[in-house]
Amino acid sequence: MLKMNSLIAMVILVTYCLVTPGRQCYGFERDYVERAVLTDEQEKTVLELAKKRGIKKVGKIYTYNIYPTAARGIGVRGIEQIKDQDVSCEVLMVTYGKWSHTGVVPGKDDLQIGDFWAGKPRTEKQKILKIGKDEFRVGRCDGMKPAECEAILKLLLNKQYVGAPGVRSEDFQHINFRKPNWFSKRGETCQVSFTRKNSDSEWFHLTVKIEDGKVVISELLQLAS
C-alpha cells in the first residue's frame, strides 16, 4: 500500500510539472490558497529558510488565510516519520512581511532572509486511526488507546449515535465525522472534536460514551476561530 501511494504521488508530481509551464519542481507538494501563491523565487527563499532551520528535506509547502484579517501565512512540513500508528513531522511556520499584519517584525531569535523570516520548527505528532480501509489522522488521543478512539469513530461514521436530552440534535447534520481532530478521556468522561462541514475554522466538541452499541452524545459545543 505504501509503495502504491508513493507511485501515485510521483505520478501527480510529474503531471503537475508537465501541465504548469514555467513552474519548477523540487519534489515536494504545494497547497496554496488563492490569495497566497508563492512564486519560484519565493519558494527558493522559503526552502532556504527551512534548510537553515534544520528541515533537511521538505515534503510540503502550504499557505493559509488568517481570518478575519487579510493576513496570510506560510507553513513548511518536513518528511513524515511513521511508526505503527504514530506519525511525527517537523513543521516550520514562515512569515512573509508583505502578507503579515501591519507592524509585525521578526523576533530576536528569528532567522530572516529578505522579507521572509521564521522561528524554530516544532514537531507535530499525530495518531492514525483505522476504520476498515480508511485512515484518519488526529492530533492526539489523550488517555485513550487508538482502538478506543476507533470504536467511537466507527459508530459515529455509521450514524449509530443519539443525543441525550437537552442536546441540539439538529446540529448533528453539520458535523463532519470524517474529519476528527482529537480524542480525550479523563476519568469516565470522553470528548472528541470534529470540524464543521464546509468550514475549516469551526469545530464541534462532543462529550460522548458508548451505551448499548451506540454513542450517546451528552454535550455538544460549537467553536469558531
Work out the number of other CB atoms within 10 angstroms of the CB of residue 199.
12
Q: What is the pLDDT of residues 201-224, one digit of tens each?
A: 899 999 999 999 999 999 999 998
Looking at 18-170, which runs of residues are DSSP E strands? 29-31, 58-65, 72-78, 81-83, 86-96, 111-113, 116-118, 122-131, 134-138, 141-142, 161-163
Sign of the C-alpha dihedral computed for residues 93, 10, 45 and 103 taken in this order: negative
Amino acid at 57: K
Q: What is the pLDDT of residues 96-114, one digit of tens each?
A: 999 999 999 999 999 999 9
* Peptide linkage before 68 cis (omega within 30 of 0): yes
Residue 38 burial (CB count, 10 A):
19
The H or E element spanning position 176 is: strand 175-186
Which whole number is the average pLDDT over 19-26? 46
14 band by pLDDT with thresholds 50, 70 and 90: very low
Q: Which 3 state secondary structure label does DSSP give 19?
A: helix
pLDDT at 18 over 70: no
